[in-house]
Amino acid sequence: TLQICRIRIKGMTCTSCSRTVETALQGLRGVQKAQVALATEEAEIQYEPKIVTHNQLMKAVEETGFEAILIS
17-56: which residues touch ligand 9UX (CB under 6 A)?
Answer: 17
Counted residue by residue, the chain has a size of: 72
Determine, following the binding rule CB under 6 A, whether residue 13 of this chain makes contact with ligand 9UX. yes
- Cα–Cα distances (Å) from 63 to 2, 3, 28, 45, 67, in that order, read 24, 22, 13, 17, 9
Determine, following the binding rule CB under 6 A, whether residue 16 of this chain makes contact with ligand 9UX. yes
* Residue from 16, 14, 48 nearest 57 by CA: 48
Window contacting ligand 9UX (CB under 6 A); options: 2-10, 14-22, 31-39, 47-55:
14-22
Determine, following the binding rule CB under 6 A, whether residue 14 of this chain makes contact with ligand 9UX. yes
Find residue 29's DSSP bridge partners.
none
| Least distance (Å) between residue 65 CB and ligand 9UX | 7
